[in-house]
A and B are shown apart, each in its own frame.
Chain A
Amino acid sequence: MVERREIEHLGDLVRIELKDPEKFIKQVEEILNYFDKLDNVQFDSDQTLRKEISMENLRDDIHEPFDNYRKLIAELKKDQNNYTRAPKMI
């Protein structure tokens, strides 16, 4: 059973203020019940897929400046003095 407080806790984890948690309860529960079929699989091995890359095949760790950084920060919220603004941390 998925309960309202569990859904609200998940909402906290993914940082979303849920306007109507009830709406999600039944659907999430139904989907999780379906996912439960994974629990009944008899696996012939414990293997999971992973790609291994040897150290020498990694790219070099070189600093490459992005020449258009002004555009990167163009949409930051700013005040009249052009300081970047963010909400209060404490």
Chain B
Amino acid sequence: MNLGISAKEFISQVREGSLSVEEFVAKTLDRINQVEGKVHAFITVDKNAIDKAKELDKKIKSKEKVGKCFGLPISVKDNICTAGIRTTCASKMLENFVPPYDATVISKLKSEDAIIIGKVNLDEFAMGSTTEHSYFGPSKNPWNPEYVPGGSSGGSGVSVSALECIVSLGSDTGGSVRSPASFCSVVGLKPTYGLVSRYGLVSYANSIEQIGPIARRVEDIAFILNIIAGKDEHDNTTLDNKNEDYLTGLDSGISGRRIGVISQMIAEGIDDDVFSATNNAIEKLQSLGAECIPVSLDAVEYSVAAYYTIAAAEASSNLARYDNLRYGFDFGLEGYEFNAYVSKVRSNFGQEVTRRMLLGAFVLSAGYYGKYYLKAQKARSMIKSQIDKAFKQVDLLISPTMPILPFKIGEKINDPLKLYLSDINTITANLSGIPAISVPFAFSKSGLPIGIQLLANSLEEKKLLQAAYALQSITRLPEISI
């Protein structure tokens, strides 16, 4: 049985009866058992998945109405609430937390008969870009387990890449879906801010984060987006996408499209292999009839400082709620005064989370607010206005997703600033709210994946996915050997 099939192939095989959901889910669970020791994508595997698969097979056999997903096995980043399945955020602070409700994205997928196969690893509270900052230990890159898989949705990227599921949901605050997609050679989409409901996503930086799908094929991203996108009464920031169908016309091509090449993202400091892969992608898009022109976004220079200022500020506020009283780990109250207790238990946050909360408290504190936070908000507005201006000239923007190749686990863990700087290409989309996708495109001489990022104007996911599909159609990549 081929576990590497697309969602589209899975659904058509199940629908015509040549594949049973139970068989596929059982094989997927076997696969997870077999490779987890090497890649560590999962925090929790849901053993009930097999019962749900059996139920669905019965429904299909008796010709009852079945949802669009037909039992499609998906993994879910462990900061998205799943009723009855623990949701840890890869933190000791939520080690035993079992949500009493489903996130909107989860209830939408369940109502279409998707099967949640398990919850996957992340940097604690989604803060990080390597998945090394997980309380449960790092995930590993399936293309070379000595290397990081990217992050923070590392478990999502790994589980899709290592054939432990067909599709995964991640969340993207500064590139957390696109970074692991690029490093693991899969596709990852950060939708327009407000296109997908954040209800049930554990908050980190509310004004910039979005839930996004990761899959091996662009068409599967479009399929999942059709299900999860749209207005939600539980999230006031959601937008009405008028039930746009992202699948129809996906193969329309990109002839005549104008693509802006972001000069600041193909400049000094990028890896040589990434540089030549990006130029190669641009040439290929031109050969399909796109017109590529250089575009300058000079505010990108301030994006990392602005992003980390805003994200840290929002994080320090959001994470104030974890006092270990309403939920948390077992730690006796005896002998503690209230504040002492809270400070004591909160010392169990990991280093990166602690660091960001300290930074957040600093940039918001009296005397520094104007110097950092307010300036960051102005820089954000400047980035947005440069993006708006660029989209008056072009339909899409292009850059490498990551300026560097995956690196060894542990290599940069003690240099947080260096890691922050590697987010330079992805955070522009978060600060300005526009959609962006990472498409696997090439491999380095050392055998590590390289992804290409495409960006479109707000709510132009359809145009974005068409371009990503065109790029995918002229790319041949090796199969995973793990």
Interface residues of A (CB under 8 A from B): 7, 10-19, 23-24, 27-28, 30-32, 34-35, 37-39, 41, 43-49, 51, 53, 58-59, 68, 71-77, 85-90
Cβ-defined contact, A31 with B416, below 8 A: yes
Interface residues of B (CB under 8 A from A): 96-98, 100-101, 233, 236-237, 301-302, 304-306, 308-309, 316, 319-320, 325-328, 333, 336-344, 346-347, 349, 351, 354-355, 357-363, 365, 371-372, 374-382, 384-385, 416-417, 420
Residues from chain B with a CB closer than 8 A to the CB of A35 are 305, 308-309, 363, 372, 376
Cβ-defined contact, B362 with A32, below 8 A: yes
Nearest 4 interchain pairs by C-beta? A71-B100, A87-B341, A48-B377, A38-B375
* 6 more CB-based (< 8 A) A-B contacts, given A34-B304, A41-B375: A11-B343, A27-B355, A34-B420, A45-B381, A47-B385, A48-B378
Cβ-defined contact, A31 with B359, below 8 A: yes
Cβ-defined contact, B305 with A87, below 8 A: no
Sample 17 A-B pairs with CB under 8 A, ordered by A number: A11-B358, A15-B343, A16-B343, A16-B346, A16-B347, A31-B359, A34-B417, A37-B305, A38-B372, A38-B379, A59-B233, A73-B326, A77-B325, A85-B333, A86-B325, A88-B337, A88-B338
Cβ-defined contact, A31 with B308, below 8 A: yes
Residues from chain A with a CB closer than 8 A to the CB of B319 are 14
Residues from chain B with a CB closer than 8 A to the CB of A17 are 343-344, 346-347
Cβ-defined contact, A89 with B343, below 8 A: no
For the complex, what is the distance from the CA of A7 to the CA of B376, rounded to whole Å? 22
A79's nearest neighbour on chain B, judged by CB, is: B333
A42's nearest neighbour on chain B, judged by CB, is: B382
Q: How far is the CB of A11 from chain B (nearest CB, A)?
A: 7
Cβ-defined contact, B326 with A75, below 8 A: yes
Residues from chain B with a CB closer than 8 A to the CB of A7 are 358
